[in-house]
Amino acid sequence: MPTDPNLLVGIGGCEDAGVYRLNDETALIQTVDFFTPIVDDPYRFGQIAAANAISDVYAMGGKPLLAMNLVAFPVKTMDKAVLREVLKGGLDTITEAGALLVGGHSIEDEELKYGLSVTGVVHPNRVVRNNGARAGDLLLLTKPIGTGILATAIKGNLAGTEVEELITTVMATLNREPAQLMATVSVHACTDITGFGLLGHLLEVAAASRVAIRLDAQRVPVLPEALRFAGMGIIPEGAHKNRAFYQPRVTCLLAPMDPLEMALYDPQTSGGLLIAAPAEALESIMARLAKRRYPLDYGIIGEVIAGEAGTIRVE
Ligand code: CO
Ligand code: CO
């Protein structure tokens, strides 16, 4: 493949987005994501899909500029009003992110799908990759985990509307505020937590950065009831797949069958940012999140340690 020195982040490193340097001041961030509905309310689904797609721009340290809709819609079987609500939710979240909707494309499909292609910008020297974590860094997570388990409980009619409202709010919340604060301090690595679960995405950072991670499982923010449902075996298929795939690189010191272990593998939709940085930088971010009354749970969940590269010890 031809190499271009302006391509700062390309494929191959499990990064959240591609980054291309335009000049000394500006690099472009490109990312795309779309999926099938995970909540019943079409407006909220639109918000969640947009927040999820835009998140990869934040995870690179950038700010979103332009967005384009990607839509698959069952024209013959679904009311057009549903599509209008999905697009309205998406547009409201794009607007909340300070970005502009500039177009899109739709196709007919058997199942509704929605998402965005997003273009963002970042200073070429301020790109936050997933490969810069260093021994001694602490790890900050900016949203609670457990949305996959709770969505499974909702699907099985085991959880009520309050739980649905809660996970919807968590997933629809943009990672804008932590990303803005991250841009004001010096951090070493960042990614966002999505389908591979907290442990899968932590392992990507550990492998890319050639470091090990010690995760303090008791300090990981988990959504209320998620552990109760996990303990009942209400666990999405994706969590089992993640565990089967990542377990060889994880030393788990939790008691056997501790539901917290499955929560750490739970696939997230539009999850939080995971930031590796020295303690002072993270304390500064957290102090300002508290001051702004950032509405979700966040906290320091572990540390980067010297050790076998690309491994995690869960304590
Ligand atoms: Co990502
Ligand atoms: Co993505």
Instruction: Examine the fold and report which residue of 90, 106, 126 is the final residue of a domain before the chain moves on.
Output: 126
Average pLDDT of 281-307? 97
Q: Assess whether pLDDT exceeds 70 at residue 2.
A: no
pLDDT band at 86 (very low <50, low <70, confident <90, very high): very high
- Concatenating the DSSP letter of every residue in 176-242 gives HHHHHHHTTS--SEEEE--TTHHHHHHHHHHHHHT-EEEE-GGGS-B-TTHHHHHHTT---HHHHHH
- Surrounding residues of ion ligand 2, Cβ less than 5 A: 33, 56
Average pLDDT of 112-132? 97
Average pLDDT of 118-131? 97
Give the whole-angstrom CA distance, residue 23 versus residue 8: 12
Ligand 2 centroid to residue 116 C-alpha, Å:
10
Ligand 2 centroid to residue 119 C-alpha, Å:
13
Q: Is 152 exposed, middle or buried (0-12, 13-18, 19+ CB in 10 A)?
A: buried
Whether 255 and 293 share a structural domain:
yes
Whether 200 and 301 share a structural domain:
yes
Q: How much is the pLDDT for 198?
A: 98
pLDDT band at 13 (very low <50, low <70, confident <90, very high): confident
Whether 274 and 157 share a structural domain:
yes
What's the domain range around 244?
Answer: 138-314
Q: How much is the pLDDT for 12?
A: 80
Whether 17 and 77 share a structural domain:
yes
Q: What percent of the chain has pLDDT over 70?
A: 99
| Count of Cβ atoms closer than 10 Å to residue 190 Cβ | 28
DSSP β-bridge partners for residue 103: 68
Ligand 1 centroid to residue 75 C-alpha, Å:
31
Q: Assess whether pLDDT exceeds 90 at residue 105.
A: yes
Instruction: Examine the fold and report which residue of 74, 101, 126 is the final residue of a domain before the chain moves on.
Output: 126
Whether 16 and 147 share a structural domain:
no
pLDDT band at 111 (very low <50, low <70, confident <90, very high): very high
18-21 and 27-35 strand pairing: antiparallel
Predicted TM-score of the model (pTM): 0.96
Ligand 1 centroid to residue 50 C-alpha, Å:
13
212-215 and 189-192 strand pairing: unpaired
The number of the ligand nearest the C-alpha atom of 118 reads 2
The number of the ligand nearest the C-alpha atom of 30 reads 2
Whether 58 and 190 share a structural domain:
no
Sheet arrangement for strand 113-122: 7-9, 18-21, 27-35, 113-122, 63-73, 100-108
Residues 6+ apart with CB under 8 A from 49: 33, 34, 35, 86, 89, 90, 114, 115, 116
Give the whole-angstrom CA distance, residue 212 versus residue 312: 6
Ligand 1 centroid to residue 29 C-alpha, Å:
12
Instruction: Count structural domains, the chain.
Output: 2
Q: How much is the pLDDT for 14?
A: 86
173-224 pLDDT per residue, tens: 999 999 999 999 999 999 999 999 999 999 999 999 999 999 999 999 999 9
Instruction: Examine the fold and report which residue of 92, 126, 160 is the final residue of a domain before the chain moves on.
Output: 126
311-314 and 250-252 strand pairing: parallel
Ligand 1 centroid to residue 207 C-alpha, Å:
16
The number of the ligand nearest the C-alpha atom of 205 reads 1
In CATH, what number is assigned to the domain containing residue 74? 3.30.1330.10
Ligand 1 centroid to residue 201 C-alpha, Å:
9
Selection from 100, 112, 6, 108 nearest residue 54 by Cα: 100
50-85 pLDDT per residue, tens: 999 999 999 999 999 999 999 999 999 999 999 999
Q: Assess whether pLDDT exceeds 70 at residue 294.
A: yes
CA distances from 54 to 9, 12, 72, 182 (A): 17, 21, 19, 16
Q: How much is the pLDDT for 1?
A: 59
Q: How much is the pLDDT for 122?
A: 98
Whether 161 and 44 share a structural domain:
no
Q: Assess whether pLDDT exceeds 80 at residue 147.
A: yes
28-56 pLDDT per residue, tens: 999 999 999 999 999 999 999 999 999 99
Ligand 1 centroid to residue 76 C-alpha, Å:
33
Whether 184 and 290 share a structural domain:
yes
